[in-house]
Amino acid sequence: MTQHGTQTGTQGRSRRALISVSDKTGVVEFARQLEARGWEILSTGGTYQSIVQAGVAARQVSDVTGFPEMLDGRVKTLHPAVHGGILAVREPGHLGQLEAHGIGTIDLVCVNLYPFRETVARGAPDADVIDNIDIGGPAMIRSAAKNHAGVLVLVDPADYPVALQDEVSDAERRRLAAKAYRHTSEYDAAITAYLTGASDELPTALPETLTLNLTRAAQVRYGENPHQPGAIYRLGDATGPVIDAQVVAGKPMSFNNYADADAAWALCQELATQESALPEHAAVCVAVKHANPCGVAVAADVKTAWERARDADTLSVFGGVVAVSQPVTLEAAQATRGTFLEVLIAPEVTPDAAAWFAEKKPDLRVLVAAPAQGVSVLDVRPLTGGFAVQERDARPWDDLCPEVVTKREPTEQEWLDLRFAWATVKHARSNAVVLAKDGVTVGLGAGAVSRIWAAERAVANAGDKAQGSVLASEAFFPFDDVVRLAASVGVKAILQPGGAKRDPEVIAACNEQGISMVFTGSRHFKH
């Protein structure tokens, strides 16, 4: 154990703390308590002003270095009197060298960095962003972390109480050092991402070198299967509707719950933002099973939307994850009675609905989430020895140029259903085909190894409900077999990207069967 709480330590040296923070949360009280425990405090700039104005005795770093802050504050701590005091090993050889040069030790470094990421996030001019690249701060943090056996390094106000203990273990010092290096690593990655994105020679989203900063956001019992360890990580400072959702009832989330809830919420929000494609004030309900939609519906209210989505495939929805676009009332909550669900995610859950879920469905995880803001443009998927990285498929309907390629035009209702089916099939695993009618999915085929098999699964799922429906495919038809199958069960309109060699044959089959066909010109594979 290493003692550091008294004024003097080995060989009677006085203890000194260097405090220089951008995030001043709790720093005045921390400095006050250090002073009460006999520490000498060194500080700089705004931090110095804050603690001195609060009545804490402190010295400016310039008093120790013998040089004033220079170059608008760019140079103030880059000096042997600072880094020698931090880096010296607490043994006679190093301490003797310090004494020969009149340098005192620094035994605690409390530093957090210029608000670089915050400056970028508020859209500041490039010159302001560059000014917020901290140099002295990371240097002091790294020096202290390297010499953590003799120096406490604090980068997070949550760790201030550690420094006020009578003793800090070697393991705790090592933990703080690792946290410090993680802090500077993430900071450097943010700078790298900014500078790479600002280059005229490289695309913003896919630079030559890509650094992923992942911080554990949640622990789960295991991964996809019980024999696989698992955890949930946050990418940088990003927020996520599911990662940051409030759990208002039910058990802790599992690995698969997170994945399915994220998929359900993404489709729910895409449909909810297609205002021109939905009836006014319509509620959306999306049921997902194993990352694929299994029942999707719009209706005048959440209760009805849920009932329509549930009835679209009552077998598959069992054990599924459900997302809705509007607040869940007690009436809507009670409508889930009789159906086992893993997760329900909504923008709001009324208190009486949350209480009902807690009493009647204690195993159901009930989440309150906000619409996604600033979602990462990157879609990252693991490979053995690396990652496949692409820009996220975020193309909206309004970015398309739909073209009717058949003699028959879709009706107004069929257009609405085609847009609804297009959004749904875009979120289903390829190969995928969706049948929809009057704002509800009536048949889904996803994850098939051929397009006709996906269509056959969707048709079988729909049964008699296929009559008068529309069909959407996330990729083109290589043959006219899907058209002929669709016609045989009463499908009236088809939407697909187009672009196949046999498009003329496919269009001719539609005209022969009296079916409308719309080309979008945009494929949406999802693997």
Q: Which has the higher per-residue pLDDT, 2 or 468?
A: 468
pLDDT, tens only, 316-345: 999 999 999 999 999 999 999 999 999 999
Rounded CA-CA distance 254/260 in Å is: 10
Contact 330, 353 (CB under 8 A): yes
pLDDT score, position 75 = 66
8-state DSSP, 299: E
Rounded CA-CA distance 99/81 in Å is: 11
pLDDT score, position 11 = 42
Say how far residue 191 (Cα) sits from the centre of its chain. 19
Percentage of the chain exceeding pLDDT 70: 91
Question: Concatenated DSSP letters for 364-389?
Answer: SEEEE-PPP-S--SEEEEEETTEEEE
pLDDT, tens only, 190-203: 888 778 765 444 44
372-409 in b/e form (b: 16+ CB < 10 A) is beeeeeeeeeeeeeeeeeeeeeeeebeebebeebbebe
pLDDT score, position 391 = 83
Structure tokens at 225: 């299967």
Catalytic residue among 94, 146, 427, 492: 146
pLDDT score, position 375 = 62
Catalytic residue among 281, 290, 407, 501: 290
Amino acid type, 342: E
First and final C-alpha spacing in the chain? 53
Residue with tokens 């995880």: 365
Residue with tokens 């909504």: 346
154 in helix, strand or coil? strand
pLDDT, tens only, 29-65: 888 888 888 888 888 878 888 888 888 887 877 777 6
pLDDT score, position 77 = 67
3-state SS record for 449-460: CCHHHHHHHHHH
Residues sharing a CB contact under 8 Å with residue 335, sequence separation 6 or more, in sequence order: 303, 306, 307
Cα radius of gyration (the chain): 30
Percentage of the chain exceeding pLDDT 90: 49
Contact 153, 176 (CB under 8 A): yes
pTM, 2 dp: 0.76
Structure tokens at 518: 């719309």
Question: Any catalytic annotation for residue 427?
Answer: no
Average pLDDT value for residue range 110-129: 83
Question: Any catalytic annotation for residue 146?
Answer: yes
**Could you tell me whether strands 108-111 and 59-60 are parallel, antiparallel, or unpaired per DSSP bridges?**
unpaired
pLDDT score, position 45 = 79
Average pLDDT value for residue range 344-371: 94
8-state DSSP, 236: T
pLDDT score, position 428 = 93
